[in-house]
Structure 1
């Protein structure tokens, strides 16, 4: 399937790469089909990736692995909240958080309270609200990412 996107131009998305959110994502319940895009040269382990809507090609949300910036991230979630993502196991679970990238990059943050849970085997996903106040909506990450970059010698 070919789609014209605002950020990436025209791209080809294979059917097996489509991830479905039964209930949409928070704030956009009508958007249900997405593809996870990343820099092909850096692979799936690239820092910031994009959750590209296939229902609204002008919408792409930056996301990343929360463990990159908060290694002890482990929110408790009721199993019933994960039902729309299918049969979740440790082997098929991918957790991402949304990234806010303002004009001043030093104010970049991630939303640890609204993780995206993807079942990579069934290509189903959901976004939840974690009921734990120790995970903020705006967790600053700029300094953490810069420090990690320095350690990696990038």
Structure 2
């Protein structure tokens, strides 16, 4: 099927790649279906694109690329809601905010996106009892990124 996207124009996606957020994302509760799209020439970031509204897209990243010590505990009840029974089914992303001054780019480590890759269902989970916040600067951490990751 074809969808319109904010950054990549019209793209062809496989229906099997659609990820369902039963409750949507925080602030976007009415939009429940998204797809992850690769950004050309950039292995560190991807687009989480709404398939219903081309204007709604989030830049996401694997938080472990930038924050090696990112250590979280997700409540078992939250994992059950998206039918995760083992870590092999789980993908974890952080939403990234990119302001005009790219050196002030931040990742939301407080509310990661957790995806059951086998069942294509997901949830944004707000962590409890943690020191993580919605804005952690990425720029200071980029020198720690694996040298094989291209962000050009």
Asked if Structure 1 and Structure 2 have the same fold, meaning a TM-score greater than 0.5 normalized by the shorter chain, the answer is yes
- Note the C-alpha offset of 1:143: 2.4
Deviation beyond 6 Å, 4+ runs, structure 1: none
Deviations 1:111-130 (A, max 9, x none): 00000000000000000101
Alignment of 1:78-89 (within 5 A): 78-89=75-86
1:60 alignment counterpart: 57
CA contact (8 A) 2:94 2:111 kept: yes
The reply to whether residue 15 of structure 1 matches residue 15 of structure 2 is yes
- Any gaps of 5 or more consecutive residues in structure 1? none
Question: Does the 8 A contact of 1:88 with 1:119 survive in 2?
Answer: no
1:142-153 pair list within 5 angstroms: 142-148=139-145, 151-152=147-148
TM-score, scaled relative to structure 2: 0.90
Q: Does 1:133 align with 2:130?
A: yes
* Contact 1:115 1:127 (8 Å CA) reproduced: yes
SS at match of 2:140: helix
Task: Output one character per residue of 1:86-112: Cα deviation in whole Å (capped at 9) or x when no partner.
Answer: 234111110000001000001001000
Q: With the length of structure 1 as denominator, give the TM-score of the two structures.
A: 0.89
CA distance in 1, matches of 2:88, 2:10: 32
Distance across 1 between alignment mates of 2:135 and 2:13: 31
Q: Which has the higher contact order (CA 8 A, sep 6+)?
A: 2
Contact 1:21–1:85, Cα closer than 8 Å, also in 2: no
What is the number of equivalent residue pairs in this alignment? 150
Q: Hey, what does 1:28 align to over in structure 2?
A: 28
Q: Once superposed, what is the RMSD of the aligned Cα atoms? A: 1.9
Q: Answer yes or no: is 1:117 the counterpart of 2:114.
A: yes
